[in-house]
Structure 1
Amino acid sequence: MIWFTYLALRGVIPVKKSVDENIRIRNLISMPKGNLPLDGGPDFNRLIFSASPYLLQHAENPVDWYPWGEEAFIKALSEDKPVFLSIGYSTCHWCHVMAHESFEDPEVAAVLNSLFVCIKVDREERPDIDEQYMTVAQIMTGSGGWPLNIFMTPEKSPFYATTYIPRQQKMGMPGIIQVLEYFDRLWRVDREKLKNNAASTLSVLENFFAPEAGLLPEISMLEKVNQQLLNIYDDRSGGFGTAPKFPMPLFLDFLIRYRKRNDSGRSLAVIEQTLRNMRYGGIYDQLGFGFHRYSVDSEWRVPHFEKMLYDQALIGSTYLETFQVTSNPFYLKVAEEILSFVFDEMASCEGGFIAGLDADTEGEEGTYYLWTHSEIEKALGEKEAALFCQLFDVTAQGNFEGKNILHLQFSPKQFSADDNMLPESFYIGFERWRSVLLKNRRERVRPFRDEKIVTAWNSLMITTLAKGYAISSNKKYLTAAKTAVDFIFSSLVDPSLRLMRSYHLGKASGPGYLEDYAAFIGALIELHQVTLETNYLEQACFFADEMQRLFGQEAGGALYETGIDAEKLLVRHISAHDGVIPSGNSMAVFDLLRLARITGDLSYQQRGEAILHSFMGTVARQPVNSINFFSAFAFSVSPEFTVTISGAEEDLSQIIYALNGRYIPNLALRYGGCEVEGEFPVVDNKPTSYVCAKNACQPPLVGAQALVSYLDEAL
């Protein structure tokens, strides 16, 4: 699918022009639907009643789409038709390509409607459905991607899986009508073959999700994982592997953690080269800030232009932690730029953060972000444009198919030095250029905003905001984190206190998954650690217990991805595999072990270690696929660094800042109260710290400076 993206960017594959997608979807949302028939009527299909932005994008297709539900499967059974299931998401470029080519085409729609019952699924609302059928695709074909198209029986058993299908035959791929007619013919004349294929796939699927337990390895295992990452590191451009190249913040987070334990200079060099090159590359929006999804090439130059909330959260956190390790303000500045982009473009007026921004505008990818030399010269003037174009590799011919992707050829500091400019003057000039060009860019048709608010992704952003506040003391970050938590409690927790998956158009989509619980618990813990407000700790403990009740097994150990109250699908799966966000099980390990150290309740530790044991046989074979699991393992074997702080709450900020401003990956903060008597008394009426680290507890450290002096010596 990456090859197709490259071809589309080069103009080899045409993409249909369209109107402003934001306006179109807003019009569909606001239109009165009370008089529409249940099938949507002549102008729409059943998706018109959906809350999902992705499903609404397909509501005007001539395809007779059904949302996932029993109505569609009953129809398929009664009419003796197979099911055509198409899974995607609203900011997916190739989902748009297939929609424009095929699902908007009356001839294709007529074949689909005649031969199949058609179902559309938003993978972000229903990751359980997506996970199962994506695994089916990988079993059948060895690969996957979106759009994911599944041919299956009315009993939901898949017999064929594929991704993008072109409208007409091209590059050795059959056209979609050929594919549809082929499987219709097999369904009618050789159904047993299809059912046997489905049965064998389901047999493999049942075993695919079964984790293999193992003993916890020696600490030396972390060196093996570290070496695996270094073996796939790109020494030339930074990052891991070749094209397409993803930021892989979870890889970098492991290296940061490993470097702390082993003082590996190589690991730190890998981290810093990667983060610098990413920031200077086209994968970073040099004007509006924030990271695009991935780079099509290996040098971070040509991005796939969609922007996702989870990327901003995870990458932002990595820059913050690198600042903690290096004290280099460059990394803090990039993290602050990312968060400013999130506030500008991804904040919801209701309190949370939206899911993502599309790669496409007016039916083409990247148009919003590309520039011609003449556009820049017109906006900045000839003299200023000359400097800007030199810095950002803008040419009259274009650095990408006649236009230009902005990227830095060298650092602004080096550029200003080479041109004998004072750094202060240069940065003033740069901000002026940026302001003018941003104003110009905002007059273009903007990328579609998927305004769905996903619990797990918001929780990751809350964690990063809390971390950003702890490191920078910027109260805006803390306010935003608290507001987002309040939103989750008001809109994504039902009356029975069940956490829900996502929110759009005033309602939640359905029960939350393991990743939602684990990420939200992590966010609550992080807020407690940067504020010591006890309500966040109490809420984290409550949801940790609920997580065990809903997703746990009777015998303990690994957690299921879906709750006991979830819809029954092909299998109830278990995974430690990291996707675009860390696996739910690995996040749960972190949550439980951190709660054990903060609260002293060893039952949390036992549950966290049980998850580690349950997967170790599986993840030890391919560690990089479950890297966050090994970060959690590293935390489990790290010596405790527990600090109990006593004093009036309003006097604790300096001590909390002193601790959180440093990289202490095994830090656990506790609040000891404000009494002069008791287990952790306040001394001399000053905030007092009780530190237990390296298997020894220190005498009381009175005042912030005493703690700072201890940390300077101990770390």
Structure 2
Amino acid sequence: MPENNKMPNKLIQEKSPYLLQHAYNPVDWYPWGPEAFSRAVGEDKPIFLSIGYSTCHWCHVMERESFENEEVAHILNRDFICIKVDREERPDIDSIYMSVCQALTGHGGWPLTVFLTPDKQPFYAGTYFPKYDSRGFMGLMSLLKSVKEAWDSKRDSLLESAKTIIEHVSQETSSEGTRISKDIIHEAFTHFKYNFDSEYGGFGTSPKFPSPHTLLFLLRYWYTEKESFALEMVEKTLLSMKNGGIFDHIGFGFSRYSTDKKWLVPHFEKMLYDNALLAIAHGEAYSATGNKNYEETARQILDYVQRDMTSQFGAFYSAEDADSEGVEGKFYIWSREEVIDILGSKDGEEYCKIFDISSSGNFEGLNIPNLINTGTLPEQQKHLAEECRKKLFDHREKRIHPYKDDKVLTSWNGLMTAAMAYCGRIFGEDRYIESAKRCVDFIYKKLIRTDGRLLARYRDGEAVFPAYLEDYAFLVWGLLELYEATFTTIYLKRALKLTDVMLNLFGENNSAGLFLYGHDSEQLIARPRESYDGAIPSGNSVAAMNLLRLARITGHHEYENRAKAIMDFFSNQVEAAPTGHSYMLCSYMYSVSDLSSEVVIAGTNGKEMVDTLNRKYLPFAVTISNISPELTEIAPFVGDYKSQNGKTAAYVCRNFSCMEPITEAEKLAEVLS
């Protein structure tokens, strides 16, 4: 809708919520595309590239300070061609120019601000800039003036700088002839051990990020090495995060990260990918320990997603903003008086005591509910807390909600599909498995072209952008979890087909490491191959894990060879920064573990056997059941497995050898222990 009769810029034709947020700025924004670059060439102007996402707090701040300001807009429109990019729609563009920013400044983040030549070559980069110079930092007004002067008088120097920058970010560290060694697993554990915060959990000081794939690595390290401290780190971190303000104690779900070491004050945005990975981490922790608190938290995460982040068609939305009414966290914080007014004096006083709600407040004079000082609630307090939570939730629903980014990203939907299917399986909760099925059905109806090419984003009836590596890898992850939750062969067939397409699109010339975008996509100034497991695991890390699982399920060991080739390709990067490759190391541990196993269940009634498997923590196992001609076509070896004397039989294979068939669930549990 028009904003106070303002004229829109060219972003008004876009579907991205982030781009539409800027459609009524006085800045003459263009989306990334040939029109903007053609104009830059024709007018001989540099490009002002701004990259962000819809729920980014500092993106909102920079918009309010600068992009909504007529004075700033006048300079930008006069001296530059201005392009806006949604990093969640175009991770390829973001990856390349974020690498530039990190190379030039030593850090990165959003909003990402980059100056380019008309042929897309970067010559200067930074992140957030205030409008005016502040505390020794250059403001945007001064920066625009300096860049304009340099463009007019020192262009040769800028062009040479751009050339050097591109050469730097395009370089790859060669790992030819090298392989990951088992020593790196122990080195990674040692790094995590010495960086662990024993008082509050997590790693480092502040800000603190959940990094759930780090916890997945530590669980596997505990499982393989019998190292109790690895499990202690996982449990302390999960407990501390759940007790902190980073967890929404009223409506559930986790925020993006904590600004302090106690996990008290979050950056209030909620991202689909964080909650997917945290649900998996809590599910695995429950499976490993039997602690029902982890199951409860995983369920709360998934219930939040089903309630607030699921479309009527079954796809999952991307994120919820940190801000509401222009104030960060306003939707989530409380005064003591408000809580007591809602709950009444007796219950209100008790709730405030439990959840650290005071008159002075714990956040800018108001309160973020938390259990940092209280700890996990005893059973006798849980009923009161839950009754109070429901009343506070109903009251909070009347507030103005944070903005919801309702675009559907294939990659993040793949992660949430994996979380729903995995947790549904180990908790015996069919409604989560049904959510996973509905999401996959949506993707196959709306996000695959008639030629079979997967697409990356859907919104408002439009599916666009050839899918990236992580779209393929994360969706295959979800399909594999769905297969093991249902033993419905179609999910396995789809996983195999997508994997074969992925290897073709992103492994050009049979390259071991997979590229971020396909050979059929827009070719940018660089074509990166990424291994770093940042906020989410890298596409290469997840692809390696998928390939290992597919090899074990189907018996096609060329997939395992491909997985090992990917890991070896990035061995130098892994050796240099093992803690930055925690999910890649999960894949490596799977490939070398003597605890890995394949379990084939043959017979017409395998439920008891399957339930036995689902009660075990088996991070390096795959299960195959419901043997059919269709499955045998995919995995010929399973055709040799039969029931025994009319009884369902489980065949457990480890280290390339198979045990005698097992017909009793208790015996299966014993063998797997």
TM over 0.5: yes
Shift of 1:509: 2.3
The residue aligned with 1:682 is 643
The residue aligned with 2:634 is none
Q: CA–CA distance in 1 between the matches of 2:299 and 2:12?
A: 39
1:657 to 611, 616, 623: 611
2:480 to 514, 518, 525: 525
Shift of 1:55: 0.3
1:549 to 484, 487, 504: 504
Shift of 1:678: 5.8
Structure 2 residue runs without a partner (length 5+):
630-637
The residue aligned with 1:36 is none
Q: Helix, strand or coil: the match of 1:673?
A: coil
Shift of 1:210: 4.5
The 8 Å contact of residues 283 and 302 in structure 1, kept in 2 or not, is answered as yes
Q: Which moved more, 1:304-313 or 1:404-413?
A: 404-413
The 8 Å contact of residues 282 and 300 in structure 1, kept in 2 or not, is answered as yes
Q: Deviations over 1:269-319 (max 9, x none)?
A: 111111101000011101111100000001101110000000000011000
The residue aligned with 2:654 is 693
1:482 corresponds to which letter in structure 2?
K
- 2:145 aligned with 1:215: no
Q: CA–CA distance in 2 between the matches of 1:193 and 1:310?
A: 42
Q: CA–CA distance in 2 between the matches of 1:413 and 1:176?
A: 47
Shift of 1:657: 2.3
1:444 to 393, 399, 403: 399
Q: Deviations over 1:154-213 (max 9, x none)?
A: 010011001111112212122212111111111111111111111111111111x45534
1:74 to 29, 38, 53: 38
- Give structure 1 regions of 4+ aligned residues with deviation exceeding 6 angstroms: none
The residue aligned with 1:636 is 591
With structure 1 as the length reference, what TM-score do the two structures score?
Answer: 0.90
The 8 Å contact of residues 136 and 205 in structure 1, kept in 2 or not, is answered as yes
2:111 corresponds to which letter in structure 1?
P
The residue aligned with 2:306 is 343
1:658 corresponds to which letter in structure 2?
T
The 8 Å contact of residues 645 and 688 in structure 1, kept in 2 or not, is answered as yes
- Superposed, 1:112-151 pairs within 5 Å as 112-151=76-115
1:185 to 145, 149, 173: 149
Shift of 1:222: 1.2
Shift of 1:688: 1.9
1:707 to 659, 665, 672: 665
The 8 Å contact of residues 213 and 617 in structure 1, kept in 2 or not, is answered as no
Shift of 1:713: 4.5
Q: CA–CA distance in 2 between the matches of 1:555 and 1:349?
A: 41
1:167 to 131, 137, 149: 131
- 2:349 aligned with 1:377: no
1:143 corresponds to which letter in structure 2?
H
The residue aligned with 2:624 is 670
Q: CA–CA distance in 1 between the matches of 2:479 and 2:564?
A: 21
Q: Deviations over 1:320-347 (max 9, x none)?
A: 0001110111111110011111111111
Q: CA–CA distance in 1 between the matches of 2:140 and 2:180?
A: 49
The 8 Å contact of residues 487 and 626 in structure 2, kept in 1 or not, is answered as no
Q: Which moved more, 1:43-52 or 1:662-671?
A: 662-671
The residue aligned with 1:22 is none
Q: Which moved more, 1:92-101 or 1:377-386?
A: 377-386
Distance 1:350 1:674, change over 3 A: closer
1:388 to 351, 356, 359: 351
The 8 Å contact of residues 514 and 562 in structure 1, kept in 2 or not, is answered as yes
The residue aligned with 2:438 is 483
- 2:608 aligned with 1:646: no
The 8 Å contact of residues 531 and 540 in structure 2, kept in 1 or not, is answered as yes
Shift of 1:109: 0.6
1:637 corresponds to which letter in structure 2?
V
Q: Deviations over 1:517-549 (max 9, x none)?
A: 011111111111122111111111111100011
- 2:540 aligned with 1:577: no
Q: CA–CA distance in 1 between the matches of 2:65 and 2:221?
A: 48
The residue aligned with 2:213 is 250
Shift of 1:410: 4.5
The 8 Å contact of residues 213 and 618 in structure 1, kept in 2 or not, is answered as no
With structure 2 as the length reference, what TM-score do the two structures score?
Answer: 0.96
Q: Which moved more, 1:114-123 or 1:436-445?
A: 436-445
Q: CA–CA distance in 2 between the matches of 1:254 and 1:638?
A: 13
Distance 1:585 1:527, change over 3 A: same
Shift of 1:224: 1.3
The 8 Å contact of residues 645 and 672 in structure 1, kept in 2 or not, is answered as yes
The 8 Å contact of residues 239 and 274 in structure 1, kept in 2 or not, is answered as yes
Q: Helix, strand or coil: the match of 2:625?
A: strand
Q: CA–CA distance in 1 between the matches of 2:115 and 2:376?
A: 55
The 8 Å contact of residues 252 and 300 in structure 2, kept in 1 or not, is answered as yes
The 8 Å contact of residues 609 and 668 in structure 2, kept in 1 or not, is answered as no
Shift of 1:647: 2.2
Q: Helix, strand or coil: the match of 2:50?
A: strand
The 8 Å contact of residues 456 and 517 in structure 1, kept in 2 or not, is answered as yes
Q: Deviations over 1:445-477 (max 9, x none)?
A: 100000011111111111111111111111001
Q: Deviations over 1:89-125 (max 9, x none)?
A: 0000000000011101111111100000000000000
Q: Helix, strand or coil: the match of 1:195?
A: helix
Q: CA–CA distance in 2 between the matches of 1:679 and 1:173?
A: 70
Shift of 1:672: 6.3
Q: Deviations over 1:570-606 (max 9, x none)?
A: 1111110112210001111011111111100111111
1:168 corresponds to which letter in structure 2?
Y
Overall identity of the aligned pairs, in %: 41
Q: CA–CA distance in 1 between the matches of 2:639 and 2:39?
A: 69
Structure 1 residue runs without a partner (length 5+):
1-26, 32-40, 417-422
2:323 corresponds to which letter in structure 1?
D
Q: CA–CA distance in 2 between the matches of 1:101 and 1:47?
A: 19
The residue aligned with 1:430 is 385
- Superposed, 1:463-478 pairs within 5 Å as 463-478=418-433
Distance 1:554 1:674, change over 3 A: closer
Q: Helix, strand or coil: the match of 2:451?
A: coil
Shift of 1:431: 1.6
Aligned-residue RMSD, C-alpha: 1.7
The 8 Å contact of residues 290 and 312 in structure 1, kept in 2 or not, is answered as yes
Q: Helix, strand or coil: the match of 2:30?
A: strand
Q: Deviations over 1:653-695 (max 9, x none)?
A: 33222212211111122236269x9611122333221111255
2:356 corresponds to which letter in structure 1?
D
The residue aligned with 1:6 is none
The 8 Å contact of residues 180 and 574 in structure 2, kept in 1 or not, is answered as no
Q: Which moved more, 1:386-395 or 1:211-220?
A: 211-220
The residue aligned with 1:264 is 227
Q: CA–CA distance in 2 between the matches of 1:604 and 1:233?
A: 36
The 8 Å contact of residues 243 and 375 in structure 2, kept in 1 or not, is answered as no
Distance 1:694 1:551, change over 3 A: closer
